[in-house]
Structure 1
Amino acid sequence: MNHAESYINELLQRNRATLADAVKNTINDIVPQYIENFSYREHVVSLLMGNVQSGKTSHMFGLIAAAADQGFNIFVLLTTDNTLLQEQTFKRALADLDTFCVCGENDYIRFQANALRKPVLLVLKKNVHVLQQWKNNFSSTNFCAGNPLFIVDDEADAASPNTKVNQKDVSAINRTLNAIKKTSSSSIYLQVTGTPQSLLLQTKIAGWKPQFIYYFEPGKGYLGGDFFFSDEKCPHVIPTDNDEGKELLQDDEFPENGLKQALLMHLVSSAHLFLNGSQVSNFVVHPSVKVSEHQKFANKIGEYLNELNLSIDEDCTIETLHQTYDNLKTTKPDIAPFDDIYSYIKETLEKDQINVLVINSKASYDENARYETGLNIVVGGNSLGRGITFPMLQTIYYCRVAKNPQADTMWQHSRMFGYDRDPGLVRVFMPPLLIKRFSEINKTNNSIINQINKAKNADDIKMYYPKTLRPTRKNVIDNSHLNMLVGGVSYFPFYPTNDDISQIDNILSAFSENDGYSVNLQLIYQIIQMIDSEKGDWNKKSYLSFLKSYISEDPSRQGVLIVRRGRDIAKGTGTLLSPNDRALVSRITDKVSLTLYKVTGTKGWDGKEIWIPNIKFPDGLVFYDVN
């Protein structure tokens, strides 16, 4: 039996047939095209994208096993610099990849003694000291240089990109990762993430832009962005006050608020789950990046629990619990009877069986690991992000409002996404501002996924976000290669050229002069393709890229086309738009608008008629592109 078959059988033995099929699809799509054809003389960078908490680890393990069947025998699996996550991944690899020699960070003797008798998998944190040590270890062996490395960088957008690119320098981790690749004559570097923004915005010359990209669909039962943050109002997402996170810690009383409501939701939903045989139910509270506030929130939750325990027999408490129960029943009609729920909550409070855990950089691994069983409330910040999986995470309270929000960071905080949730009982509490931001991120994520499914390489994938939201952190994008198109601004060439004016005439023959036609963006795309500039002041490539990404989200998306003919305007005039047309275009705020003036050509145009474009993208959006 080969390595891939062994791993697939392992999944089947655990009754994970759907996941096994999905992993096989990923293997069958990637291995023949990219791994079987590997040249053994180059360093290839690639990207595997999956939704947050959609089973990326299983797909990584499947590809590692399949690559071992193709002759690769040295694998490095990188995690973020998080001891909890590294331990979690290491233990899972030991359990799942039983045909491999799985090594941790301190297993150099084991690695060397194995001497490639089995394919070896190293599970390492992206810590500069750990990476440097293993770079030295690879260099000191007599079998690494002549064998290709297969490096899998889980959460590759975290820590791996060069954070000093705008200082004309290289950050330590990025430099060390590059050095590790060079300990071998060839390598495949597989970036893995659910948030590829920073990776897609890398330049080719940096050496980290993926050369091929693959997206795998989440399996059946996955709750993701479209479940929680589609355009329609979701009953599972409950708005809280925008300033509640700050006000909670300043109030010594026990007023009604979103945190208390979330706590009651968690108790009621947990009671149902435990009454039906569950061993665990988790509630994550993500209030702030500040470690100092985590314990304060934990203390506040403890106070709420004490208050509830003291008043559990009072009519007002019973009524409040019943209201919470009724809310959950709207999405979970078969929820256990209220009397059973109430009795379970009362007994649990009396026996003090609710665990309030704080997870942050100051908490130990043993303390962190206690959420695998029991009724838990977990409070933390950044440590609740990338890679950490909470089983049966049913309730989330998220009130962290960043001053300069980044799409990839926010999306990684989406711990509510995943499989092992009861969809009828899951609830997310967050301020309306954050609900809006998550919805906006979800739209662009869907656009990126649609583009990946059609793209030939990373150059074909573009993204856009509202002005108030950056795609990723500034320090990993090379500003000298970054192009940004800002919505609400008119773009036009001073010195336009038409590839074939007769073709443009033919396309526009159906349009007369009025206040604008609603047209499919595909038509605007075709017109822009036929217009250029003598002086390079018309960024056609970026305009087309934006339109392509916008269309990928919705192929039927509409724009506005405004056509004017017979204009006697001098060359180099500027926007060309008349006051009336300028006012007309300014009123179009939520769509792409393209205004086309056909000038007579008598004033500096060599006596030739020519079409001059003026394009404006939707207000409030910024489109990002890297050349």
Structure 2
Amino acid sequence: MTFLENYFASIKSKEIQDSVFSVAKKIFTDKDKLGNFDYKSQTSGLLLGEVQSGKTGQMFGIIAAAADKEFKVFLILTTDNSRLQQQTFKRALDSFSNFCVCDEKDTLRFKMNKMRLPVIVVLKKNSSVLKKWRNELLNSRFLDGSPLFIVDDEADAASLNTKVNKNDISAINRNINDIRKTSSSCVYLQVTATPQAVLLQTTVSEFKPSFVVYFSPGGMYLGGDFFFSKPEPYCIIETDEKEIKTIIDPNEIDNTWLSRAILNFLVVCSQFKLSNYSNVCNFLIHPSTKIKDHAVVTEKIGETLNEILQSITDNDDLIKESLKTEWVNLQTTKPEIKPFDDIYDCIKDMLFHSEIKPYTINSKSPADISFDNGFNIVVGGNILGRGVTFPNLQTIYYLRTAKTPQADTYWQHCRMFGYDRDRSLIRLFMPFSIFKLFQELNESQKALIKQISVHGIDSTHLLYSKNIRPTRKNVVLSKKLSIIAGGVNYFSAFPINKSLDDLNKILLPYDGKDMKECGIDFIIQILSYLDSEDRNNDWDSREFINAVKMAADKQHLKKAKLLVSVGHKIKKNTGTMLSQDDRNKIDKCVSDISLIMYQLTGDKELGWSGKPLWMPNIKLPDGFIFYKME
């Protein structure tokens, strides 16, 4: 039995088995991935999936397949989070009965194995841990003549160089590079659901992947299109915008929306218990990044639970009506929900026996807290953003805001994504402004995945609204980052026409004074005939083509606007191209991809060759920024 076949024995779902097999086959047979790996060189790749879509299972499948390809030493790197490191270690231990699976403290087990079995070591991305294992690898001599396979989970989180703009190297980045160099041959596989920072590495960076493999989630997955679709889905309950501030105010006694979310959760817990659906149900609250705010909210939760119990004990009609309101809300999507009176009695019993447990989870919390059992209300911040899973997460209360949200950070907060949820009972409480932000992020994520899937990693760039930053600034080399901003006119001062005859043939029929409608593909065709004497500083049609494709995908555009005008006398290296009249016309195309093509006379006295040529001016839809790395 192969290692991959043995790993399949731990997977119950045929759908997941097929997906894991497909991904592993693609990685190890495609020639542009590891199909032609020579076991002598260093290479890197990117495994891309959705948030909580089964990336760990795919990682393990790739490790098993790599073991069948004679790789013997595997490192799995997790974020510097003991809870997540232990979660990954235990899963590896359960999944690989024919491997030597080591915790980061298991140096003796690593040595005693003496490579009899393939070895997997699960490490936090912590400087001291990485240094220790670099030395272990070197001293053991196990990698002499053997390749190393590193799987970097959440590779965009801590692995990249945070001092890239200071002409220096950050500690974690240096340590990972040092480990990669312990063997003359290494495969470094980055894994993430938010590849923005990875994609914005320079082409010469050792952390820019040479290939990417995207795997689609399974059919039962609840993701961005479920929670943040247009129109607004049933699972969204809009809270008051002011709750963003009042919930973390210890002196604020009006916590209407928090109370409603708790009541909704109590109904769901009772339904789970009465129907024997599950003995675990979780409620996640993300109020802010600050630990002191978490303490305030957790205290309010405890007070609210006590008040609910007291009101039920006192036979208060108001609390009964409030609970029934939530029951009715849930009944609209779960018609078979248990009768309200049964739900009400169950809630009373659960509260009386303190079965609803509030928890605070942050950097000061114990690492061994588990949410795999019981009915839990969890309050936290950054630590909730990556990797940590919450089974049966049915209720979410999200209030975190930022002046300039980072796309990757916010998308990682989508802990509600996943498989083991009852979709008819899931509810997401958030203000409308935050819901709109996540809608925007969902559209950007879909456009990004489409670009990667269709065009590969080299032709993929990023497109976001101007009020959203794709990732943190300190891991992107700013002097190599270029942007194309929507609403801004870009023209070529040094245009080259690859085929003047072809351009004349397709453009002259559009000659006129007005912007005319045409297809997106026609705009791309025009751009493909254009080049520049200075691609780096003047005009690069390849980048504009990518920008057009992404803008069209993101905005679901099928048509663009085109104006063609002939007979222009413009000096070479001019500082402006458009006439005021044409500038006014294109500026009115606020939501369109718009292109103006001037046919110049090309007079020698104006600096040209004496032959006619076409000069382009393009403008993307307002409000977007297209990011590209040189």
TM-score range, shorter chain: over 0.9
Tell me the distance in 1 between the aligned counterparts of 2:37 and 2:615: 48
1:26 aligned onto 2:23: yes
Preserved contact between residue 98 and residue 117 of structure 2 (Cα < 8 Å): yes
Asked if 1:559 is matched to 2:556, the reply is no
Distance apart, 1:606 and its partner CA: 4.4
Work out the CA distance in 2 between the residues paired with 1:438 and 1:586. Answer: 28
1:4-403 mapped onto 2 (5 Å cutoff): 4-12=4-12, 16-33=13-30, 34-250=33-249, 252=251, 254-255=253-254, 257-277=256-276, 278-312=278-312, 313-366=315-368, 368-369=369-370, 371-403=371-403
**Structure 1 stretch displaced more, 552-561 or 66-75:** 552-561
- What SS class does the counterpart of residue 10 from structure 2 fall into? helix
Match status 1:542 vs 2:543: yes
- Write the distance in 2 (CA, Å) between the matches of 1:486 and 1:535: 20
Q: 1:551: Cα distance to partner? A: 4.3
Given candidates 610, 619, 624, the residue that maps to 2:622 is 619
User: Distance between the aligned counterparts of 2:524 and 2:71, measured in 1?
Assistant: 44
Amino acid at match of 2:406: Q
Residue 553 of structure 1: how far off its partner (Å): 4.9
Q: Distance in 2 between matches of 1:554 and 1:19?
A: 32
Equivalent residues, number: 621
The corresponding residue for 1:479 is 478
- Indicate the SS of the match to 2:52: coil
Contact 2:165 2:477 in 1 (8 A): yes
Distance 1:204 1:376 in 2: 45
- The Cα shift of 1:554 comes to 7.2
Quote the offset at 1:572 in angstroms: 4.2
Q: Is the 8 A contact 1:284 1:378 kept in 2?
A: yes
Q: By how many angstroms is 1:254 displaced?
A: 4.4
Residue number in structure 1 paired with 2:510: 511
Once the two structures are superposed, residues 89-134 of structure 1 have per-residue CA deviations (whole angstroms, 9 ceiling, x without a partner) of: 1111111111110000111111011011000000000001000000
2-structure distance, mates of 1:26, 1:570: 54
Q: Residues 435 and 222 from structure 1, CA distance in 2 versus in 1: closer, same or farther, beyond 3 angstroms?
A: same
Alpha-carbon distance in 2 for matches of 1:204, 1:600: 39
Assess, with a 3 A threshold, how the Cα gap between structure 1 residues 510 and 23 changes in structure 2: closer, same or farther. Answer: same
What's the CA shift for 1:573? Answer: 4.1
Amino acid at match of 1:25: S
What CA distance in whole angstroms lies between the structure 2 residues aligned with 1:68 and 1:463? 35
Tell me: CA distance 1:606–1:6, structure 2 relative to 1, closer, same or farther (3 Å): closer
CA distance in 2 between partners of 1:319 and 1:516 (Å)? 59
Match of 2:594 in 1: 593
Question: How far does residue 544 in structure 1 lie from its aligned partner after superposition?
Answer: 1.9
**Deviations 1:509-560, CA, capped at 9 Å, x for gaps:** 3324253222222211111122233344123232122123334557863221
CA deviations 1:353-392 (Å, max 9, x no partner) are: 11001101111123x22x1111110000011111000000
Counterparts of 2:563 and 2:303, CA distance in 1: 62
- Residue of structure 2 in register with 1:467 after alignment: 466
Q: Which amino acid aligns with 1:17?
A: K
TM-score (norm 1): 0.96
C-alpha spacing 1:280/1:535, structure 2 compared with 1 (3 Å)? closer
Q: Is the 8 A contact 1:73 1:119 kept in 2?
A: yes
Question: Structure 1 residues 493-502 or 582-591, which shifts more?
Answer: 493-502
Q: Deviations over 1:266-309 (max 9, x none)?
A: 11112111211111000000111111111110001111112211
2:589 alignment partner AA: I
User: Which is worse superposed, 132-141 or 538-547?
Assistant: 538-547
Give how far 1:228 is off.
0.9
- Offset from partner CA, 1:300-324 (integer Å, 9 cap, x none): 1111112211222222211111111
Residue deviations 1:25-78, cap 9 Å, x none?
222222222445320111110010110000111111111111111111100011
Q: Tell me how large the CA RMSD over aligned residues is.
A: 1.7
Provide the rounded CA distance (Å) in 2 between the counterparts of 1:428 and 1:260. 14
* Higher mean C-alpha deviation, range 548-557 or range 121-130: 548-557
| Aligned counterparts of 2:556 and 2:397: Cα–Cα separation in 1 | 35
- Is the Cα contact below 8 Å between 1:163 and 1:171 reproduced in 2? yes
Do 1:36 and 1:70's aligned partners in 2 also have CA atoms closer than 8 Å?
no
Distance in 2 (CA, whole Å) between partners of 1:556 and 1:362 is 48
Q: Distance in 1 between matches of 2:502 and 2:112?
A: 70
Greater shift, 446-455 or 298-307, is seen at 446-455
* SS class of match (1:98): coil
1:242, distance to aligned residue in structure 2 (A): 2.8
How far 1:570 moved relative to its partner? 4.1
Could you tell me how far apart the structure 1 residues matched to 2:255 and 2:139 are? Answer: 63
Task: Give the letter for the 1:424 counterpart.
Answer: S
Cα distance change of structure 1 residues 502 and 36 upon mapping to structure 2, 3 Å threshold: closer
Contact 2:508 2:564 (8 Å CA) reproduced: no
Distance in 2 (CA, whole Å) between partners of 1:448 and 1:168 is 30
Is the Cα–Cα contact under 8 Å of residues 10 and 96 in structure 1 kept in the other structure?
yes
Shift of 1:22: 1.6
Which ranges in structure 2 are unaligned for 5 or more consecutive residues? Answer: none
CA contact (8 A) 2:250 2:296 kept: no
- Write out per-residue CA displacement over residues 223-246 of structure 1, whole angstroms, 9 at most, x where no aligned residue: 001111123211112222333121
Structure 1: runs of 5 or more not aligned: none
Say if 1:520 and 1:556, in contact at 8 Å, map to a contact too. Answer: no
- One-letter amino acid of the counterpart of residue 134, structure 2: K
Q: 1: CA distance between counterparts of 2:569 and 2:389?
A: 65
* Counterpart-to-counterpart distance in 1, 2:34 and 2:205: 23
Q: Give the Cα separation in 1 of the matches to 2:290 and 2:99.
A: 40
Q: Secondary structure at the match of 1:506?
A: helix
Q: Is 1:449 the counterpart of 2:446 in the alignment?
A: no
Task: Measure how far apart 1:496 and its partner are.
Answer: 2.3
Q: Distance in 2 between matches of 1:620 and 1:548?
A: 16
- TM-score, length of structure 2 as denominator length: 0.95
1:254/1:307 CA distance change after superposition, 3 Å = farther
